[in-house]
């Protein structure tokens, strides 16, 4: 098969309204076409918001907490905003749940239902909701893990008097995700050592006293800081005796995951190294500029590919990054015309090395007939799923 093909990628500007409609305590869902707020995506009535935190279903309501600056429409002065819903569509904005104060900003974390009152912070026989969050010390920049608790179903919160519950003196130690590990009858926490590209695993019987169990990493993408980890079990094809554990981290605003096993102490990556079969590269992004026939318009793609050496498991070191100065940039990137003289054509999205193997099984159907294609995508940030641009999302 021989055919000439050319592909164009289009970067489309996406605008996120961080402001809102001032006024009384009305539901956070837009109600008329003239409102400048989304219909089905929660926004506070005004000011800056970012990472969702502490998502939990409790007392017949879905609770959404999120990074919130009550004083302006830019990042900073982070507190936990709060909204509730009974259907995940219509949301009611509530007062700030966990406010920043003169000593700390309240960064990302998670919420658990301490139903058996292991923490002793409940009332009577009723256990509290416990929020575990990163306390960012204003004076020093040190990041510590602290807790707050609610005894009225999440409406009001009290910071624990003996905070922090974990302090290792680090400026890059954040985003705790806590879950109950039934085999040990204890709590487990995953939290990132962000600049070391590691996830630390801690254990506790009461949510107040924590002991480090192990660390995972570095692994995978290590060219940008790791953030917002999670660790959870998934059954293969619904079979309880074939359960895998999945560890996720966020790198430059994109998600990366590892599939393996967890014994309550250590997460072990079960993915074997992958060696791609030989193939012929038709066009790539290894040059310093968009030479070799690539044509760029607008400003979204810059003057040439971005390059990185901190990636494992990818083909080449160059990639297209459509975020340079702002999300408002637009443009196109068109390949040169090239001839295909093979049976199969593979698009190595995000640098992945998974080409078609003759007689094997491919996750994506290979191109097997002559046709002219145009690939179009919209975006609001880095173009590739494993973008390596190191940018802080909520700290600026």
Span 338-370, pLDDT tens digits: 787 777 777 666 555 555 566 554 443 333 333
Span 13-72, pLDDT tens digits: 333 333 333 333 444 555 565 667 787 789 999 999 999 999 999 999 999 999 999 999
Span 110-136, pLDDT tens digits: 999 999 999 999 998 889 999 999 999
More confident site: 305 or 235: 235
Distance CA 68, CA 76 (A): 8
Candidate from 135-139, 289-293, 325-329 with smallest mean pLDDT: 325-329
35 is catalytic: no
Distance CA 102, CA 272 (A): 48
Identify the pLDDT of residue 326.
64
Q: Is the pTM of this model over 0.75?
A: no
Distance CA 201, CA 181 (A): 12
Identify the pLDDT of residue 294.
87
Cβ neighbourhood burial of 105 (10 Å; 0-12, 13-18, 19+)? buried
Which of 51, 114, 175, 219 is the catalytic position? 51
Distance CA 131, CA 199 (A): 20
Q: What percent of the chain has pLDDT over 70?
A: 73
Average pLDDT, the chain: 80
Distance CA 227, CA 218 (A): 13
Distance CA 53, CA 177 (A): 9
More confident site: 191 or 339: 191
Identify the pLDDT of residue 335.
85
């Amino acid at each position: 098969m021989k055919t000439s093909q050319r592909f164009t990628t289009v970067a489309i500007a996406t605008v996120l309204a961080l402001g809102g409609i001032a006024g009384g305590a009305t539901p956070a869902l837009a109600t008329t076409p003239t409102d400048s707020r989304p219909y089905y995506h929660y926004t506070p009535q005004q000011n800056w918001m970012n990472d969702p935190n502490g998502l939990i279903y409790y007392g017949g309501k879905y609770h959404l907490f999120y990074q919130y600056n009550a004083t302006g429409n830019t990042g900073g002065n982070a507190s936990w905003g709060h909204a509730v819903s009974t259907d995940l569509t219509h949301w009611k904005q509530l007062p700030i749940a966990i406010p920043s104060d003169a000593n700390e900003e309240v960064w990302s974390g998670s919420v658990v239902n301490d139903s058996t009152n292991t923490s002793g912070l409940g009332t009577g026989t009723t256990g509290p909701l416990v929020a575990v969050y990163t306390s960012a010390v204003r004076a020093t920049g040190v990041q510590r893990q602290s807790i707050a608790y609610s005894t009225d179903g999440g409406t009001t919160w009290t910071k624990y008097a003996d905070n922090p519950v974990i302090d290792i003196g680090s400026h890059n130690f954040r985003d705790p995700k806590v879950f109950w590990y039934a085999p040990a009858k204890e709590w487990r926490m995953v939290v990132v050592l962000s600049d070391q590209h590691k996830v630390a695993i801690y254990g506790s019987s009461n949510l107040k006293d924590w002991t480090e169990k192990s660390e995972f990493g570095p692994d995978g993408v290590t060219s940008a800081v790791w953030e917002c980890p999670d660790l959870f079990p998934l059954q293969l094809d619904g079979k309880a005796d074939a359960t895998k554990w999945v560890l996720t981290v966020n790198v430059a605003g994109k998600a990366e995951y590892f599939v393996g096993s967890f014994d309550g102490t250590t997460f072990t990556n079960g993915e074997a190294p992958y060696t791609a079969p030989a193939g012929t590269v038709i066009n790539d992004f290894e040059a310093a500029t968009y030479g070799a026939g690539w044509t760029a318009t607008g400003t979204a793609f810059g003057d040439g590919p971005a390059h990185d050496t901190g990636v494992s498991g990818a083909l080449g070191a160059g990639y297209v990054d459509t975020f340079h100065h702002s999300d408002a940039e637009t443009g196109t990137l068109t390949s040169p015309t090239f001839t295909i003289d093979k049976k199969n054509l593979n698009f190595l999205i995000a640098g992945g090395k998974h080409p078609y193997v003759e007689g094997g099984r491919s996750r994506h159907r290979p191109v097997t007939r002559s046709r002219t294609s145009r690939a179009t995508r919209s975006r609001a940030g880095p173009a590739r799923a494993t973008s390596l641009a190191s940018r802080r999302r909520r700290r600026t």
